[in-house]
Chains A and B, each alone.
Chain A
Amino acid sequence: MTYEPIIGLEIHSELATATKLFCSCPTKFGAPANSQVCPICMGHPGTLPVVNEKAVEYMVRTALALNCKIAEITTFDRKNYYYPDLPKNYQVSQQYHPFGKDGFLEIKTGNGAKRIGLDNIHLEEDAGKNVHPEGKSVSFVDINRAGIPLVEIVTKPDLRDVEEVEIFMNDLRNILLYTGVSDCKMQEGSLRFEANISVRERGQNYMPPRVEIKNLNSFKIVLSAVKHEIGRQMKMLEKKETVLRETRLWDDEKQITRPMRSKEEAHDYRYFPEPDLPPLFISQEEIEKIKKELPELPNARKERFAVDYGLTEYDSNLLTSSKEMADFFEESLKVFNQLHPVRNSPDIASGRTISNGAKEIANWLIGPVTRYLNEHNISIKETKLTPELLVGITTYVHEGIINQNTAKNILPEILEKGKSPEELIKEKGLTQVTDEGEISRAVDKVLQANQQAVKDFQNGKTETLGFLVGQVMKITKGKANPKIAGELIKKGLKNL
């Protein structure tokens, strides 16, 4: 028997407003405990909420970007539950008339495009944090986070496997970043996930009871938890056991989901309309205005990159997978075009100007730059690289002043220290050697020292040429022009 997982996600993302949802306290991450609080977000008796207009704008932006129907009148409701990090012991949220309904996000899977339905998106306030110092019998509450605006995005149960979950999470994160509504820093808790999972026999269309998994604090954890839970439920079904509707927690240490204690789970939230906040009217004009200001979204940008810059789908995909990277690419290209107007040539087929620089810059960004960022787990903004510096590197390589290898070698220093390639070349004496005399001396040495490779080459193993070129580069400390070195080696081999 084959099984089909049915997966829905609930995503909480902190909105990047400067102040909290209902008071004017700042929202900066990492401030000393209880330093960003006031009577309102501490829930002191008699205080009242006032909605942050920026948060409203961000919600409309999010709703538009996620193809939602936007409510003309949106209302707030109270979600009642007791927890020390929730100062009022109710959370102001939206249950009955959320900002957006019936949206979707189109993802590209291995089997083509697929629409993932979004049930609703709504606005709510974040809770604070309970702090339990180790070895002490007391607990503390930090209210700094309480009242920070959160958008909650609830998908329909349209996801079918871990791969789709991964693509969806990435795409959604990208949209939130592109629209500028959230910084999506999972390590700071500004993007959090919950997953609803059930498994049924393939080909059936009944909805089995779903299991909700909480406490998923990174993309990796979401994927591990979803994978584990699908496996757990499948095994149960195979053993003819019944999967119950329940809430489970991800235990990252043991890499399993475990049931929540019934006390943690037994909630009747007693939702009712928040009497302290009148309904919010969102006019068509306001929506239109926000729509006009909406930045280009990832999918549109991807397509534009392919068409305008003649990039492959693969390259466009990688470049637009983060807004910062895509912005950096376009800024670099602008610098490049100013510097090298002649290297632009009109594409005859499309009539568009396709920049020669595009591919060059894209290769640098997708290749060595991205590799460096991944290794150090940072974003391009956190490096000292500027579009000017990157274009500088490509120019030096293009003009043959340094070779590709040298350029790659000095890249980390540019990223870390912001030194110009010019400076580094001078500092390290890295100018590419194009002088045939110097290179051929190195070639002679290499051919003498590598008799076996020479023999192999002569026996028809032409791939040893690469090895020999490498040896020449080694002797010249990477400064030799590899093209010239190759030609000289071939010539030398012939003459042997």
Chain B
Amino acid sequence: MELYKLTAHELHKLLSEKKISSLEITESIYGRIEKLDKNINSYITLAKESALQQARKADKKISAGGKIGPLSGIPVSIKDVISTKNIKTTCGSRMLENYIPIFDATVIEKFKRENTVILGKTNMDEFAMGSSTENSAYGACRNPWDTSTIPGGSSGGSAACVAADLAIMSLGSDTGGSVRQPASMCGVVGLKPTYGRVSRYGLLAFASSLDQIGTFTKDVEDTAILLNIIAGHDPLDSTSVAKEVPDYTKSLKNDAKKLKIGVPKEYFAEGIHQEVKKSIQNAVETFKKLGAEIMEISLPHTEYAVATFYIIAPAEASSNLARYVGVNFGHRTRDKGIGNIVDMYEKTRDEGFGNEVKRRIMLGTYALSSGYYEAYYLKASKVRTLIKKDFDEAFHKCDVILTPVSPTPAFKIGEKISDPLQMYLSDIFTIPINLAGLPAISIPCGFSNKGLPIGLQIIGKPFDEEKILQTAYTFEQNTEFHKKKPKID
């Protein structure tokens, strides 16, 4: 049996019935990684030894006859932006090339309690800045559907490895679309939960007010299972919300009747790829046939979202990344010509950071500088409030909102890397959701003429992941897109 192909809920059933072992699953995946990942480059670091140990531990529990959790013994991968004790955490950067954390992120602790197997750390745009996973100090990641194209980003490694069956599921992070956009481009399910739903403790910060840990899975059921494990208030994260966590698997109902779906006209404007537009329209039709009520809505401040994001995110990043100076951890220049501490900082940062990171640090530093703060950061914060209000008003009328995830399917490696503005615009449909702090999911809803996946974005009310999951599950149960796999063998 090709165990690596299965979902977590399928594997869990087999494990519980003692038909397979976690060690077998884990080894089958490592076998596949060793064979195929040289073409994809979805992993930066593999943690085989500790993974096999964890798998054996899970197997012991199973053979002892105890009831096991839904993710016990399930091999997952982790975006290299999440702190893993004793496992190198590079954030895709030269700066943290040899950084081995001394503590686990809260989500990792939860996995360990569950005996979930951590396969390794996945490739990403440096410090989660990018939309193509080309800005990685460890080489670009490739899209399993066409290795000449990008997998999306910044969590490209996580999306690619789930799509290529190099992990059963994966955790990523989403600041402006970094989970949903690569999920869409790699044809997997990607959820960004509500800001505050999942602890950020141990997530290396890019833009703290926007960052949220998200999930990559092969189907919606796995998303619900994974969210059940990672959601919840964390006393170590003051921005995590003390709200009860429902059992998300209860939302897996194939039912679109009474569902009120809003479709914002601003998301189908110029610049959107015709094939993407068509796929989304088809998805809307599907829901209509399933009995949902479709309505056109307006989110009038959408056009300001990208500009707003590119003030707030770099501003926060410029401060968050200030700690990388070679004093307490991470890279320090070996240049012998350094005369003083400031030179040491400058040289260390020059060597340690890539171009996109430097660009955003400069943008953010500028936006916060005295005399500019009011015109940029403060103004952007106000626009952010307006964007949030747009959604609040829309949600008076509808339960969920359907939009495209990305204006185009995966583009070629190198195509946009020298045009930052074009690259930034590929997050135009995902950024507003981060600014508003809302939950949203990307699910497969079609393919381009060249056979590249296209994703549908379902946006929900704050903390209403249940409605998104129900909507996504209903679509999945009535379509076949999620069943198609890339041919990489």
Interface residues of B in 237-263 (CB under 8 A from A): 237-239
Is B370's CB under 8 angstroms from A44's CB? no
| Nearest-neighbor residue (CB-CB) of B324 within chain A | A45
Decide yes or no: A48 and B322 within 8 Å by CB, A43-B328, A270-B365, A272-B315 being known contacts. no
Indicate whether A309 reaches chain B with its CB closer than 8 angstroms.
Answer: no
| Nearest-neighbor residue (CB-CB) of B127 within chain A | A45
| Nearest-neighbor residue (CB-CB) of B326 within chain A | A84
Question: CA–CA, A39 to B91, complex, Å?
Answer: 17
Q: How far is the CB of A36 from chain B (nearest CB, A)?
A: 15
Is B203's CB under 8 angstroms from A278's CB? no
Interface digits, A55-88 against B, CB 8 Å rule (1 contact, 0 not)?
0000000000000000000000010101010011
Question: CA–CA, A78 to B319, complex, Å?
Answer: 8
Q: How far is the CB of B456 from chain A (nearest CB, A)?
A: 30
Is B235's CB under 8 angstroms from A50's CB? yes
Indicate whether B209 reaches chain A with its CB closer than 8 angstroms.
Answer: yes
Indicate whether B272 reaches chain A with its CB closer than 8 angstroms.
Answer: no
Indicate whether A89 reaches chain B with its CB closer than 8 angstroms.
Answer: yes
Decide yes or no: A46 and B201 within 8 Å by CB, A270-B368, A272-B377, A275-B208 being known contacts. yes
Is A46's CB under 8 angstroms from B202's CB? yes
Is A82's CB under 8 angstroms from B322's CB? yes
**Which residues of chain B are near A49, meaning CB under 8 Å?**
238
**Which residues of chain A are near B91, meaning CB under 8 Å?**
45
Decide yes or no: A272 and B208 within 8 Å by CB, A45-B329, A51-B238 being known contacts. no
**Which residues of chain A are near B202, meaning CB under 8 Å?**
46-47
Indicate whether A276 reaches chain B with its CB closer than 8 angstroms.
Answer: yes
Is A45's CB under 8 angstroms from B322's CB? no
Question: CA–CA, A347 to B242, complex, Å?
Answer: 61
Question: CA–CA, A268 to B366, complex, Å?
Answer: 11
Is A45's CB under 8 angstroms from B204's CB? yes
Is B236's CB under 8 angstroms from A45's CB? no
Interface residues of B in 354-397 (CB under 8 A from A): 365, 368-370, 373, 377
Interface residues of A in 71-110 (CB under 8 A from B): 78, 80, 82, 84, 87-90
Is B322's CB under 8 angstroms from A44's CB? no
**Which residues of chain B are near A43, meaning CB under 8 Å?**
323, 328
Is A272's CB under 8 angstroms from B103's CB? no
| Nearest-neighbor residue (CB-CB) of B322 within chain A | A89
Chain A binding surface SS class: loop
Is A44's CB under 8 angstroms from B369's CB? no
Decide yes or no: A276 and B238 within 8 Å by CB, A47-B201, A88-B322, A90-B319 being known contacts. yes
Interface size on A, residues (CB 8 A): 29
Q: How far is the CB of B281 from chain A (nearest CB, A)?
A: 37
Is B83's CB under 8 angstroms from A46's CB? yes
Indicate whether A277 reaches chain B with its CB closer than 8 angstroms.
Answer: yes
Indicate whether B101 reaches chain A with its CB closer than 8 angstroms.
Answer: yes
Indicate whether A141 reaches chain B with its CB closer than 8 angstroms.
Answer: yes
Q: How far is the CB of A46 from chain B (nearest CB, A)?
A: 4
Question: CA–CA, A49 to B239, complex, Å?
Answer: 10
**Which residues of chain B are near A45, meaning CB under 8 Å?**
83, 89, 91, 96, 99, 101, 204-205, 323, 329
Is B365's CB under 8 angstroms from A48's CB? no
Indicate whether A42 reaches chain B with its CB closer than 8 angstroms.
Answer: yes
Is B208's CB under 8 angstroms from A44's CB? no
**Which residues of chain A are near B325, meaning CB under 8 Å?**
82, 89
Indicate whether B421 reaches chain A with its CB closer than 8 angstroms.
Answer: no
Decide yes or no: A87 and B365 within 8 Å by CB, A48-B201, A278-B238 being known contacts. no
Interface digits, A275-294 against B, CB 8 Å rule (1 contact, 0 not)?
11110000000000000000
Decide yes or no: A48 and B238 within 8 Å by CB, A82-B325, A82-B345, A87-B328 being known contacts. yes
| Nearest-neighbor residue (CB-CB) of A43 within chain B | B323
Question: CA–CA, A43 to B324, complex, Å?
Answer: 10
Question: CA–CA, A270 to B103, complex, Å?
Answer: 30
Indicate whether B488 reaches chain A with its CB closer than 8 angstroms.
Answer: no
**Which residues of chain B are near A277, meaning CB under 8 Å?**
238-239
Interface digits, B72-109 against A, CB 8 Å rule (1 contact, 0 not)?
00000000001100000101000010010111010000
Q: How far is the CB of B319 from chain A (nearest CB, A)?
A: 5
Question: CA–CA, A80 to B368, complex, Å?
Answer: 10
Interface digits, B200-215 against A, CB 8 Å rule (1 contact, 0 not)?
1111110111000000
Decide yes or no: A275 and B209 within 8 Å by CB, A82-B322, A88-B322 being known contacts. yes
Question: CA–CA, A49 to B320, complex, Å?
Answer: 13
**Which residues of chain B are near A80, meaning CB under 8 Å?**
318-319, 322, 368
Question: CA–CA, A82 to B321, complex, Å?
Answer: 11
For the complex with contacts A49-B238, A51-B238, A270-B319, 11 further pairs of A-B residues with Cβ separation under 8 Å are A44-B101, A45-B91, A45-B329, A46-B105, A46-B204, A48-B239, A270-B368, A271-B368, A272-B319, A275-B316, A276-B239
- Sampled A-B contacts (10; CB under 8 Å): A43-B323, A44-B101, A45-B99, A46-B201, A46-B205, A48-B201, A50-B235, A51-B238, A80-B368, A270-B319
